[in-house]
Structure 1
């Protein structure tokens, strides 16, 4: 094997437990005179995975441990919405548990088109958003504790559920079947929460929608310091409009130990290369699943995953997790292969 590689079975591998980005992983493998490992046979995968287990090379990265905290915020926030709704149904805005802001009173004689802005409570302001091109945004000028209720979203109530206007929420009717739309596009019947923008990453996300009693409330999911723009995730469809994907890595990885590897190009029975949605030939074959062919959608990499509890290896697509990881993506252990040193079958 070349320097930096270890003979494992008929192949030469370099297993890196110090995590790196995908681009850096590829560059390191190339500097060693090889490339990212391609698991193109069951024999090769068994040799590699057995070596990893026997040499205790299974590690969890610090970045993923931090990402678990983000996931915990999301899960706990979802649990808190149910608690808030029960509290609201009993106490309304007079709750002793939740700090609840209501609309500022609109001065008599105000112009109808100024209504949304004028409803802004004391301690908040409507000003230019920190997101380029997003227009105006809603800002807090006072510190807000986690699970503060910012108020209920107001707008024109319609029954047209097919309208995909970005200022609309679809809400279930209270005590009846069916749904309706709260459309905050018209300035004369909406309130200040229409100016709350969507975040570009989880660090910016500081509030969430809570659907309760036929209303839509906005509630903070973390402590918010003064001088902070309020931002709510409006759902995956709106994320597509912004070209933002809110996929948490642990929804895919599920606390398994992961190594970054290379994709396997596979042809189907007609000789066609199976591909992802973007046209790149990145279909994988998991030899441990009795050679089952699977098409992976909207992905750009491949991960070798080990479930410590089930003691089972599997392959996972590496999707775009930038909403939680920033642009550099996941830092993961990775495996290089010296493609020139493979021994022939005996």
Structure 2
């Protein structure tokens, strides 16, 4: 058994390259020859031919006849590409995973993972200097990151909502503030339970959220601002922080929790989903990811969270391991009076 599956990185980067180049979307538009795909992309014929066959081998594309020649080298020959040949299109699997909205879509997740691979290539520099090169930090694909949060089935999100409501029972929240809520993937699940959400994120992310949510957005309030600087006054029965604390260092996390506590109604709850060092199997490797992605982020210990909650005046701290994934749900409430 090898330490790393030798094909997985190649599969990831081939799929991400096909997405970024537009080749996947050309295939999604309908059957197309290699020649037509080359023209549509204003691309190199040899490269397009190779990529099309690679996508067929991965099961995300299919062709209506054998490739132009049987030779592995000849199939990439530009002269072959210029001749009439098979027509390619996305397979049912390709449409499901790369194009069509739904719980199986992983388009933006693939792009996000490929971004991480490229960034982790800088680990030797990061090990020496403690942070990524400034020029690379400025090139982060925030759109793919935000949209990734909204992909996948709703079941694990509903399970988180169930646990939060169980902690708050017998009372039931009327409203919540979804801090750094990306494209509203959690806000939508709370709203389905009759809880009015306020989705807070940066203006460019809120714009993405409105587009992705469509008609669902009419049932939400939006706050386009930087949560490190301000939070709306509330009061809120619930403040939700999903995957926030690993981005920042202890001082900012402590300050954010203190400010979150101030906008809670009496007896209101702060709920967070994140990694806890002693309890998450992914903690150590995820901390490396934060080295390349942030200036001060990391994976924090249970005692850190408990101290931050206490400094925010929150009590009844409960930390639960989530069944889906290897992260944790952290809960605490404000005093009743």
Tell me which interval the TM-score lies in, with the shorter structure as reference length.
under 0.3
**More helix per residue: 1 or 2?**
2
State the TM-score, normalized to the length of structure 1.
0.24
**More strand per residue: 1 or 2?**
1
Answer 1 or 2: higher relative contact order, Cα 8 Å, separation at least 6: 1
Structure with higher Rg: it is: 1
